[in-house]
């Protein structure tokens, strides 16, 4: 039973996990706080910093390449990101380290990220994205309304095309 639930969860994760999510995960200061790192991960494992996960690393670097087109700016962002994840430079002050745990990510970046303007601009852009399921729920609701067995016998391709026309 546990394996079936885990497989279902992993299938859902694979469908919804986007490189942008990984980049947002890496840019969220809370996930570098001591309180989060010392807490147990699901399943009882040890937590690690987001950038240290190989799957996350590949995804956030892909998102970084897409988000920053200019190679010089991309190099600068990667250098600044290295300082952020290592807690060096502007990110090494005690207030920045303390506030990782309690401040909202956007507020933290507005307060401590301004000296790294390229990374700051990227962080604000990425972390300002709204995360809502209402769009998906609305589409599924329309789909199930159109593709109701009692109403009609449309094949799934035809129902999909009608949902997007609607």
- Tens of pLDDT, residues 95-150: 999 999 999 999 999 999 999 999 999 999 999 887 655 555 665 566 566 556 55
- Rounded Cα distance between 4 and 20, Å, is 28
Residue 66 CA, chain-centre distance (Å), reads: 14
- Rounded Cα distance between 121 and 10, Å, is 32
The answer on pLDDT for 36 being more than 90 is no
Neighbours of 105 (CB within 10 A): 19
Q: What is the mean pLDDT of residues 86-100?
A: 93
- pTM, two decimals, is 0.69
Query: For the packed helices 105-112 and 117-127, what is the interaxial angle rounded to 10 degrees?
Result: 160
Residue 133 CA, chain-centre distance (Å), reads: 14
- Tens of pLDDT, residues 43-73: 778 888 888 888 889 888 988 988 888 889 9
- Rounded Cα distance between 166 and 141, Å, is 12
């Amino acid at each position: 039973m546990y394996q079936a639930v885990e497989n279902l969860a992993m299938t859902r994760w694979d469908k919804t996990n986007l490189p942008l999510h990984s980049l947002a995960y890496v840019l969220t200061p809370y996930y570098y706080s001591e309180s989060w790192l010392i807490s147990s991960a699901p399943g009882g494992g040890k937590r690690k910093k987001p950038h240290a996960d190989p799957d996350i690393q590949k995804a956030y670097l892909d998102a970084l390449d897409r988000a920053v087109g200019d190679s010089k700016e991309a190099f600068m962002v990667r250098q600044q990101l290295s300082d952020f994840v290592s807690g060096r430079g502007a990110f090494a002050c005690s207030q920045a380290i303390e506030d990782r745990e309690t401040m909202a990510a956007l507020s933290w970046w507005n307060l401590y990220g301004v000296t790294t303007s390229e990374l700051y601009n990227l962080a604000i852009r990425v972390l300002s994205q709204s995360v809502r399921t209402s769009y998906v729920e609305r589409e599924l609701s329309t789909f199930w309304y159109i593709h109701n067995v009692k109403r009609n016998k449309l094949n799934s391709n035809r129902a999909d095309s009608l949902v997007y026309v609607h």
